[in-house]
């Protein structure tokens, strides 16, 4: 399918995991993809994989929590690829800790990347979308938005993303811009593997334990999330706005 032909899609945190799978899926849907991530080497590697697969893609190292960097990056995207039609706010970090151990830096870093980053990128992307009277914004929330031990910062940020999504849907809907959120559960990525390593539990044990809590009895893959994002960016979802879709292998709890 090429329903995003002649569209430019921006994916933040696109060098690995859900972001990389999303960039690949949107490229398969016909979009020219702008790959944003923090590390220049990671960005170049991700772009190389997309181009090798026949996609049109360009990389832009960017700290999404830095206003000047985001503004400069989106200007470069518009110059190099064209006006932005799709934005996937996927960039994220973890700084897990129990409240009494959590530092102010742990809190500010997570809020900066998830909430401030989504705000800054959406503010830039909507400029082209309003002019075109067409756009798709998908924000990455998480099942942790419902509460998760040791994730006061991350849970608060991901819950905030859902409210942010609803508000943007109200504001941007009159311009034919759909804004939605996707909330993954346990997805097998480098980030979830690193979390297991940090708490000293073998990743295979974490996966095995999680299987008993997932009705589908399998661990989610980045491509599972990318498929839902692709749907929300398609015309089939043209009347879907302000929603959060949980991708958890079962009902959100």
Query: Which residues does the annotation mark as catalytic?
Result: 154
What are 161-169's contacts with CB under 8 Å, separation 24+? 161/89, 161/114, 161/115, 161/118, 162/244, 164/115, 164/118, 164/119, 164/139, 165/139, 165/141, 165/242, 165/243, 165/244, 166/242, 168/122, 168/137, 169/241, 169/242
Question: For residue 214, what is the enclosing H or E element?
Answer: none
Encoded tokens for 227: 């498929």
Instruction: List, edge to edge, every strand of the sheet that includes 8-12.
Output: 57-61, 32-37, 8-12, 84-89, 135-140, 177-184, 244-247
Is residue 234 a contact partner of residue 173, using CB atoms and an 8 Å limit? no
In whole angstroms, what is the distance from residue 25 CA to residue 209 CA? Answer: 30
Six-digit token string for 135: 């756009």
**Of 4, 32, 233, 31, residue with least CA distance to 139:** 233
Q: What is the DSSP letter of 187?
A: B
* Contact between residue 233 and residue 138 where contact means Cβ atoms under 8 Å apart: yes
């Amino acid at each position: 399918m090429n329903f995003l032909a002649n569209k430019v899609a921006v994916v933040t945190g696109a060098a690995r995991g859900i972001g990389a799978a999303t960039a690949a899926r949107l490229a398969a849907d016909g979009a020219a993809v702008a790959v944003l991530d923090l590390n220049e080497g990671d960005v170049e590697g991700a772009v190389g994989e997309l181009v090798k697969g026949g996609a049109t893609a360009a990389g832009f190292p960017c700290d999404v929590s830095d206003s000047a960097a985001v503004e400069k990056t989106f200007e470069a995207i518009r110059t190099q690829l064209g006006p932005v039609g799709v934005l996937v706010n996927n960039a994220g970090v973890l700084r897990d800790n129990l409240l009494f151990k959590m530092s102010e830096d742990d809190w500010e870093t997570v809020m900066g990347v998830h909430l401030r980053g989504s705000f800054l990128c959406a503010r830039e992307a909507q400029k082209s979308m309003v002019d075109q009277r067409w756009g798709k914004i998908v924000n990455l929330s998480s099942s942790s938005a419902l509460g998760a031990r040791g994730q006061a910062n991350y849970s608060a940020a991901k819950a905030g993303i859902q409210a942010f999504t609803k508000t943007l849907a109200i504001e941007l809907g009159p311009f034919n811009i759909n804004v939605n959120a996707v909330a993954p559960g346990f997805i097998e990525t480098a980030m979830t593997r690193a979390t297991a390593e940090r708490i000293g539990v073998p990743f295979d044990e974490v996966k095995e334990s999680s299987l008993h809590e997932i009705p589908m009895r399998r661990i989610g893959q980045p491509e599972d999330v990318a498929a839902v994002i692709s749907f929300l960016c398609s015309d089939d979802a043209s009347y879907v706005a302000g929603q959060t879709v949980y991708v958890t292998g079962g009902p959100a709890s």
